[in-house]
Amino acid sequence: MQDEFGRLLVELWRDLQQPMALWQVGALALCLWLGWSADRLVRGRAVDETTAGLRGQALRLGQRGLRRLVFPVASLLLVLLARLILSQWHHVNLLSVAVPLLASLAVIRSVFFVLRHSFAEAAWLATFERSFALLAWGVVALHITGLLAPLIDLLESVSFAAGRQKLNLWLILQGIASVLATLLLALWGGGLVEARLLAAQGLDNNLRVVLTRLAKAALMVLAVLIGLPLVGIDLTMLSVFGGALGVGLGFGLQKIAANYVSGFIILLDRSIRIGDLIAVDGNKGQVTQITTRYTVLKGFTGVEAIVPNEVLVSSVVQNESYTDPKVRVSLPVQVSYAADLERALSILVAAATAQPRVLSDPAPAALVVAFAESGIDLELGFWIADPANGIGTVRSEINLAVWKAFKAAGIEIPFPQREVRLVGGGISA
């Protein structure tokens, strides 16, 4: 193999010194121009956004994938055709070198498309893409220069035994590449399953998350089970690593394992759903994300709390949206002893009734709570159906309306007072 590619480079150098090489250059330039034209033609067509359902999603996904692959694939097919035709008259070494380059470009773009579709917002994706592209082009360079075969022989010479299985570095690299390839296919399939579940009507959000993660996990396990035997690695050797992993989970990773198990319990029993307003362990907020390890609560101040799933399973959780999203809000108010209580109570009820977020059933109610030192304590109670939109805003609006109405009605809101008397030259309070 090394002699073959060394001979290819030598003959290519000789071809470039002959006038006949212009035919190869012209044919290669024509193939690349036709491939570029086909790419422009496909990119100029708008993606069909009218078709709904799984068929529409698959169609749009296929159109986006075609846009990334049309140039290298079309150019590769044209170069192969040109090489077949020109080989009848003279050497085609330049076209033979272009074939692996275009094939590598097609593979790299395919991998990148699958990764971007499966991990749209992953921060590590750009670094991985650069590393993968560098690795792919490095393999192509070794392949063209004929250095790949000696490198493979060197890797095969480094061998060792794992149980009954004899391994070498080249076999391990093949296994990694095979598993990565099958994992890409699994991620692609998982993305299609997720899109199908998201489009399903009447399916609970938690059930969608569970089915999506179970489908992705099953596909990834299946990818490993298929990828390793493809290169001749016996799966029974994984039992050794499985035992070591079990010991690690039993000792050092038990908390992480507990969080993962708790995450599936939460998703399956649907005690907490995305959008619920809950309070646990001193944290209160709306559930915005449920993963297999933690749950994200977004508070009313915008601060997000990441709560381990084990805490949600082992602690008392106050869920204001579990069976009924309606919550009762109490608003304390104090008036002076000289105030008209019946008038004050009616003002409180009217201020709550005027707010569109306050429910009419149960109706707002105002109560006399206690006779305090500086005035009479009143309480306004009302119900709202959307606590996720914030309770502080409706409190503020009602407080402002009550203050304006009390001021107009001449009802005083007292403040703490002290009476000081001078007795025999001393001061007593």
Model pLDDT for residues 264-313, shown as the tens digit of each residue: 788 777 778 887 888 888 888 888 888 778 888 888 777 888 898 888 88
Task: Say yes or no: 67 and 8 in one domain.
Answer: yes
Report the C-alpha gap between 340 and 348 in whole angstroms: 13
Unique residue bearing structure tokens 């290298």: 72
Task: Say yes or no: 126 and 73 in one domain.
Answer: yes
Task: Say yes or no: 23 and 89 in one domain.
Answer: yes
Q: Using one digit for the tens of pLDDT, what is the confidence trace for 183-226?
A: 777 777 777 777 676 666 666 666 677 677 777 777 777 777 77
Task: Say yes or no: 314 and 341 in one domain.
Answer: no
The domain spanning residue 350 has which CATH number?
3.30.70.100
Per-residue model confidence (pLDDT) at position 406:
92
**Pick from 384, 379, 391, 392: nearest CA to 349:** 379
Tell me the residue range of the domain where 377 lies: 327-409
Name the packing angle between helices 169-199 and 93-118 (round to 10°): 50
- Confidence band, pLDDT 50/70/90 cuts, at residue 401: very high
The domain spanning residue 314 has which CATH number?
2.30.30.60
CA contacts within 13 A on the Cβ side of 318: 8
Residue that terminates a domain, selected from 157, 183, 216: 157
Per-residue model confidence (pLDDT) at position 154:
79
Unique residue bearing structure tokens 């121009």: 33
Is residue 175 a part of any domain in this protein? Answer: no
Task: Say yes or no: 379 and 340 in one domain.
Answer: yes
- Measured CA to CA in angstroms, residue 312 lies from 134, 325, 327 at distances of 44, 19, 21
Residue that terminates a domain, selected from 157, 182, 210: 157
Count helices and strands (H / E) in the chain: 13, 12
pTM of this structure? 0.45
Task: Say yes or no: 26 and 148 in one domain.
Answer: yes
Task: Say yes or no: 309 and 375 in one domain.
Answer: no
Task: Say yes or no: 151 and 51 in one domain.
Answer: yes
Q: Using one digit for the tens of pLDDT, what is the confidence trace for 32-62?
A: 888 888 878 877 665 555 544 444 454 555 5
Report the C-alpha gap between 360 and 201 in whole angstroms: 32
| DSSP per-residue codes, 273-312 | -TT-EEEETTEEEEEEEE-SSEEEEE-TTS-EEEEEHHHH
